Structure formats: C-alpha cells, structure tokens
Amino acid sequence: MKYKSTRGLIKGISFKEAVLMGLADDGGLLIPESIPSITQDDLMALKDKNYQDVAFYIMSKFVGDIDKEVLKRLIDESYKTFDTSKIVPLVDLDDFYLLELFHGPTLAFKDVALQFLGNLFEYVLGEKGENLNIIGATSGDTGSAAIYGVRGKKGVKIFILHPKGRVSKIQELQMTTVLDENVFNLAVDGTFDDCQYIVKEIFSDLDFKRKYSLGSINSINWARVLAQIVYYFYAYLQTKESERLDKINFIVPTGNFGNILAGFYAKMMGLPVNKLVIATNENNILHRFVQYGDYSIKGVVQTYSPSMDIQIASNFERYLFYLYDEDADKVKASMENLRRERFIKFSTEELKKVHQDFDSTTTDNSETLKVINSVYHKKGYILDPHTACGVDGALKLKDKYEEKFICLSTAHPAKFIDAVKKAINKEPVIPDRIQKLFDKEKRVYDMPNDVSVVKKFIEQHV
C-alpha cells in the first residue's frame, strides 16, 4: 500500500514515510492510494478473534513495509497498557450500545491510537537511526494520550500546545505532571483552533520542518486514523446484529472529524454501516455542514465537552477529497477559501452525497446535563459529557432509523468531575491513577498566541 496527498503533489510514499511525514509536504493530508475491501466472509472469520488479532488483520492491509511479525509485536505491546482484555468493550443499554474507548492509560479514546503510534515511532526511528520532534495541538485528550504514548521513548521529543484554561483540570494534570525530559507542555493564550493554527503554520514552513525533523501525532497523522478504523470493526463484531450481518448505525461525538472519519473508511471497506452520525456540542460546524451545507467558521464557545470546542476540523480535508471525487485541485482551492474567507460552499449534489453516509445532531449544555442525569437514573451508568452528546443524538434519532446505534464513549467520566457532579449531584468514582495526579509536581510553559514565539521555543529545546 502506498500513500498520496489530498492536494496531489505527494504520491507513492510508503507507510513508514507517511507516518514520519505527518502533514504532507504539499500542505495536504496523507491518504491510502486505494481502499482495501473486506467481504462478509472475511468479516465473519474475525468473529471470535480478540482485539489485537482484529487490529493486525485490518492494519496489515494498509502496511506494506513493516514485517508482519514486527507489526504484530507492536500491536500486542500497545494494548498491554489497557485495563480490560477486551480493550474496547461493548455495553448493551437496550436503547443503544456504548463502545467504551476509555480503558487506556489516560482514560480517553485517543489512547487506542496513540499507544500504537508511540511504539511505531520508536520502531521506525530506531530502524532508521533518526530522531523526531513531535509537535501537536490538543483540545484536551490528544495531548495527554500523545504524551503517555511517547514519554521516555528513544529518539523522540514531544511539544504539545493546549489552550490555557480551556481544558478540564484532569486533562491539564495528565499533561503537566509528566516530567520526562522528552516532554514539553505549552499553554497557549487562545483557543484550540489557535493552537492548531500555530502547529499547521509551523509544518507549512518546510525548511523549519526539515531542519528540526518535525513530525505529527495529531489525527492529521494517517496512523492515528488507521488505528481507529479497527474499533469500528471490533464493535460491530460484538453486537447481536453481526450474527445476521445486519447493518448498524454509529454515532460519534467529534469535533476534529478524525474519529468519525475512521468510521467512514470502515464503511468504504465493507463494514455493514447504515449511517454515521456526527454528534456535536454548541460548536456545531459539522452539524451545520451535514444539515445545511454551511461550513462557516464562527466563534468557539466553552462547553461541558471541551474536547469538542472546535471550529476547524483538521481531518475534514480527507473527507473532502472523496466528496470531490478525488479532485485534488478542488480540495486545495476549498481549503484556501476556508483559510481566506472562513467558509466553504457546497452544491446541492454534493450535499446529497454527504447525506448518503452521514447524519448529525447537536446538543447544548443543558441537554448534556439532562442526558447524563437520565441515563444515570435509568441505567445506573455515568456518561462523560462528550459521550452524553452522542447518547442525546441517538435518543433523538432512534425513531428515524430502524438500525440500532453504537455510541462511541470517548472518555471516562472521572475526567470531567465538575460537569458530572452538576448533572447527578455526585462525583464519579475517581480511579487511583487520576487521584494521584493532584499531588504530583507540574511543569508547563506559558506561551502567547504567536507562531514565532513557539518556533523559537522549539529551536531552543530540540
């Protein structure tokens, strides 16, 4: 399998090259040159496999330049850090399923991909005898999961930008209490979109990127999306519907489009998916896009689900490539228009294509608290506020679709104690690994919202 850029100038690169490049050198995002297919027989052959075996089967279709035994070892090592043998267990709550993606070391879905990516980086860099300086932006969960994925790894330093005061207390502590010498936390005076803009500007300076061997751990890195494709297959295989190969719906709390994009690839590969539903909070650009073709950037509002407080979805460009029938020039023009005019226009025909795959919902702060309260009192199950947006959407749409919903549960409720306590008047059980954070030493560097200042900091510390 070879990889190419959504903007057309980078083609024919290997998986390992794609992993280290992160953002394509032409400013686009790297995608596979073809989409492998999985038949119904293939799917049923995976029915009784464990998560690691399913991951190996799916990933090996996209990885052509890593020995199979090495790939299997990297996968097995990556999921030893999870607290359940199922890795991502499925819970049946009658009206819908919940796919628990929060059993990794930082209690968020990002661990599923970033534990793998950390091991992958160490292997590839060791093989090449090279070093890598990772630059990433986070709205909360990516940063801590990325840090835990590469802390102490040979040949890697990591610089994570987060919006100061705009992540939860637990998310902040999970990042800033990691004192390994290869970890640098930068608190930027701005929003997540500001952090993401700084990272993209740094990567667009190709001389700087090459000079300091910069790489990406954000979901712009293809390996992140690849690792997430796996749990869509594994989730489906755990359902009653898989016995008859019935279709199912997925509803995904998402702000950056990476998590739902993995489901889009799974569907293209042949997973029996009826509809992929994007669940948003009040920062609902993706909902407006799906429903009305309105992809216009507005101000970011703070919500109880801060990891979705995003207006510029960094993975959206990958979907545009397929929506535009793989017209790289059109992708480039649309992304330039978004940068310049802060919107993208879509035709009626394009919107029809969107509706073949996607639906969407939006959930405000009061609805978020209500659904946490309702599910707790009806089922005795505590949702985090991001997952609550997904469950709210599933309940709103349950009469619209015959197929049952799998809601991706993206974080442990203990990461959002204040919102949960406000909803149910009690705190969730705090795992020991979270409780211990409050007494740990912290290290963080405050930064202005300024690309040049961040670049200077990187120069001084690589």
Distance, in Å, from the CA atom of 238 to the CA atom of 99, rounded to the nearest integer, reads 10
> What's the pLDDT at 142?
84
Answer yes or no: 153 catalytic.
no
> What's the pLDDT at 310?
87
Q: Catalytic: which of 110, 267, 275, 415?
A: 110
Exposure class string for 437-456: b at 16+ Cβ within 10 A, else e: beeeeeebeebebebeebbe
- Region 259-267: what's the mean pLDDT? 97
Residue 103 has pLDDT above 90, yes or no: yes
pLDDT, tens only, 327-347: 999 999 999 999 999 999 999
> What's the pLDDT at 275?
98
Please indicate, yes or no, if residue 48 is contained in any of the structural domains: no
Amino acid at 167: V
Distance, in Å, from the CA atom of 171 to the CA atom of 192, rounded to the nearest integer, reads 14
Domain that holds residue 357: 90-105+223-424
Residue 218 has pLDDT above 80, yes or no: no
Distance, in Å, from the CA atom of 234 to the CA atom of 125, rounded to the nearest integer, reads 30
Instruction: State both tokens at 41.
Output: 């027989």
Q: Give the count of beta carbons closer than 10 Å to the beta carbon of residue 226.
A: 25
Residue 132 has pLDDT above 80, yes or no: yes
Please indicate, yes or no, if residue 301 is contained in any of the structural domains: yes
Please indicate, yes or no, if residue 44 is contained in any of the structural domains: no
Please indicate, yes or no, if residue 77 is contained in any of the structural domains: no
- Provide the 3-class DSSP secondary structure of residue 436: helix
> What's the pLDDT at 10?
97
Residues 6+ apart with CB under 8 A from 358: 260, 275, 276, 277, 278, 290
pLDDT, tens only, 401-450: 999 999 999 999 998 999 999 999 999 999 988 899 999 999 999 999 99
- Give 345 or 312, the one with higher predicted confidence: 345
Burial of 404 (0-12, 13-18, 19+ CB in 10 A): buried
Instruction: With 0.85 as the threshold, say if the pTM is over it.
Output: yes
Please identify which residue in the block is written with the tokens 């998916």.
273
> What's the pLDDT at 256?
86
Residue 387 has pLDDT above 80, yes or no: yes
Distance, in Å, from the CA atom of 212 to the CA atom of 223, rounded to the nearest integer, reads 21
Could you give the C-alpha distances from 426 to 78, 373, 418, in angstroms and in order?
34, 11, 9
First vs last C-alpha separation in the chain: 32
- Region 305-328: what's the mean pLDDT? 93
- Region 361-368: what's the mean pLDDT? 98
> What's the pLDDT at 461?
96
Please indicate, yes or no, if residue 156 is contained in any of the structural domains: no
Report the CATH number that the domain containing residue 271 is assigned in CATH.
Answer: 3.40.50.1100
Q: How many structural domains compose the chain? A: 1
> What's the pLDDT at 219?
81
Residues making up the chain, counted from first to last:
462
Please indicate, yes or no, if residue 141 is contained in any of the structural domains: no
Please indicate, yes or no, if residue 28 is contained in any of the structural domains: no
Radius of gyration of the chain (CA): 20
The answer to whether 386 touches 411, Cβ cutoff 8 Å, is yes
pLDDT, tens only, 73-88: 999 999 999 999 999 9
> What's the pLDDT at 225?
96
Please indicate, yes or no, if residue 159 is contained in any of the structural domains: no
> What's the pLDDT at 226?
98
